[in-house]
Amino acid sequence: MSPPPQKSAGLLQAGRPAARAAKVGVLLVNLGTPEGTDKASMRRYLEEFLSDRRVIEWPRAIWYPILYGIVLNTRPKKSGALYDQIWNREQNESPLRTITRSQAEKLAETFRGNDCIVVDWAMRYGKPPIEEATDALIAQGCDRILMLPLYPQYSAATTATVNDKFFDALTKLRLQPAIRIVPPYHDDPAYIDALARSIGKHLATLDFEPEIVIASYHGIPQSYARRGDPYPEQCHETTRLLRQRLGWSDERLISTFQSRFGPEEWLQPYTDKTVEKLAKDGVKSIAVFNPGFVADCLETLQEIAIEAGHAFRHAGGENFSHIPCLNDSEEGMAVIETLVRRELAGWA
């Protein structure tokens, strides 16, 4: 008589329902965007953004009277007018929202055929919120989530606050998923190579040769750096590696910092002051790109492509070009896919 068949580990016990196959969620998170350019939409967005203790580290007793008494009564209208210059009117949304959604869709397409991976996206401020996206991934059966903050260089004002909001969403769950967070990638070869190829492609389309190329990063107050924020060092390392990859000199590729806010001293040199000085010093042709942004937004399309370009020409410069962010280009998606596949090792 043959022995009874062994019960397979995959066979269900009698009377128990089949368990849903576990999935892995991949969540892309960027800074955020207002829902519209009107004053009310801008106020909601700015209130959430500027109330973040990671963004403004001043004591609340000092900052809130300024925020609610001055900033939120004056800045929404001004910011709305700036957003209006770069608004995606076809889809009635900011370019950042358009591009981030496309990045998530294209990443999902690379995993087509793998039913165990679910890709979604969210914003730290505004919509879609991180908590909503996290809940959606869990509802689809994800018991593991890989979260990618879309910031190549780490700062407490960007990466850390995204992490905070993600962790806050988890505190509301009784059954939490296992999590991983993609680390900063300011020096990752895939990122440096993508920047170099993107810059090369753009420069090849110009009818002039830039004498100087500027890597303009979003600034932070110098006090944040003195308290240990590694952001400035990581920015300068990105530029150093990019110079090495392109074979350019320190004079050909320089770093500057933009988007300062408030009375504090921020990281220097300032982008706006630099482009003006270059023009006054006789430099006729420059190009500017933003390696700290993975998607074009207000700070790149309006502050650099429009304002910095105007300032350079007004000061005597002649040829100015803004090099687009990596966005959802072939180069940009190669970076995101490389990071995600690497961090999914052992999970998917």
CATH number given to 23-184+330-343 = 3.40.50.1400
pLDDT score, position 151: 98
pLDDT tens-digit series, residues 255-313: 999 999 989 999 999 999 999 999 999 999 999 999 999 999 999 999 999 999 999 99
Q: Mean per-residue pLDDT for 61-89?
A: 97
Q: Is the pLDDT of residue 18 over 70?
A: no
Domains 23-184+330-343 and 189-322 are alike in CATH topology: yes
Q: State percent of the chain over pLDDT 90.
A: 92
Quick one: pLDDT at residue 5? 43
* Distance in Å from the first CA to the final CA of the chain: 43
Domain ranges of the chain: 23-184+330-343, 189-322
What is the three-class DSSP state of 93? Answer: strand
Average pLDDT (137-147) is 97
Express each pLDDT in 205-233 by its tens digit: 999 999 999 999 999 999 999 999 999 99
* Closest by Cα among 193, 33, 185, 188 to 99: 33
pLDDT band at 20 (very low <50, low <70, confident <90, very high): low
Rounded Cα gap, residues 235 and 152, in angstroms:
9
Average pLDDT over residues 315-337: 98
The answer to whether residues 213 and 264 touch, using CB atoms and an 8 Å cutoff, is no
pLDDT recorded at residue 21: 64
Residue 1: pLDDT above 50? no
Burial of 205 per CB tally in 10 Å (0-12, 13-18, 19+) = exposed
Q: How confident is the model at residue 348 (pLDDT cuts 50, 70, 90)?
A: confident
Specify the fold of 189-322: Rossmann fold (3.40.50)
HEC-encoded secondary structure of 134-203: HHHHHHCCEEEEEEEECCCCCCHHHHHHHHHHHHHHHHCCCCCCEEEECCCCCCCHHHHHHHHHHHHHHH
Per residue in 182-205, pLDDT tens? 999 999 999 999 999 999 999 999
The mean predicted confidence, pLDDT, of the chain is: 94
Among the listed residues 27, 16, 18, 10, the one whose alpha carbon sits nearest the alpha carbon of residue 138: 27
Q: Is 32 helix (H, G, I), strand (E, B) or coil?
A: strand
